[in-house]
């Protein structure tokens, strides 16, 4: 059984009749792109079923959108409210939140930090 070809930003650019840079600007919401061009790019994205690779974007942009938190007791009211607020805020910005609990030693905190 053949694997379906993954749709790339290059495929979107070709389908929309624009450059890869223009597609990138539309995806990021930055730059001055005409409404018509933006609509053409978005139509190509929809038609092709393009899914943006957030990890690749983060690597290229130098910002991961990830926040990690290491706590001793996640059931403590302060940390429960903090994690709920962080999760809500980051999800609204397409970010990610990871929480690690470590109750033993400083080395377990260190190991938790490095796993992210």
Question: For 17-72, what is each residue's pLDDT tens digit?
Answer: 999 999 989 988 888 899 999 999 999 999 999 988 766 666 666 677 778 888 87
Q: Are residues 106 and 72 in the same domain?
A: yes
108 falls within a domain: yes
Quick one: average pLDDT of 2-16?
A: 87
57 falls within a domain: no
Distance CA 19, CA 112 (A): 42
32 falls within a domain: yes
Band (89; pLDDT cuts 50, 70, 90): confident
Q: Are residues 70 and 47 in the same domain?
A: no
Radius of gyration of the chain (CA): 20
Q: Are residues 46 and 13 in the same domain?
A: yes
Q: Considering the entire predicted model, what is its pTM?
A: 0.53
Distance CA 32, CA 111 (A): 44
What is the pLDDT of the chain when averaged over all its residues?
Answer: 81
State the residue range of the domain holding 91: 66-114
What is the model's pLDDT at position 113? 56
48 falls within a domain: yes
How many alpha carbons lie under 13 Å from residue 43 in its C-beta half-sphere?
11
Number of domains in the chain: 2
Q: Are residues 73 and 110 in the same domain?
A: yes
Q: Are residues 108 and 71 in the same domain?
A: yes
33 falls within a domain: yes
Q: For residue 57, what are the CA distances in angstroms to 4, 23, 27, 64?
A: 22, 13, 10, 8
Distance CA 12, CA 24 (A): 10
């Amino acid at each position: 059984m053949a694997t379906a070809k993954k749709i790339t930003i290059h495929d979107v650019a070709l389908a929309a009749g624009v450059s890869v840079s223009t597609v990138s600007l539309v995806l990021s919401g930055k730059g001055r792109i005409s409404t018509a061009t933006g609509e053409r790019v978005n139509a190509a994205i929809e038609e092709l079923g393009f899914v943006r690779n957030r990890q690749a974007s983060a690597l290229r942009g130098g910002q991961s959108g990830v926040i990690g938190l290491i706590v001793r007791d996640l059931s403590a009211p302060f940390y429960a409210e903090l994690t709920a607020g962080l999760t809500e805020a980051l999800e609204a910005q397409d970010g990610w939140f990871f929480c690690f609990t470590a109750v033993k030693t400083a080395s377990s905190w260190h190991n938790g930090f490095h796993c992210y």
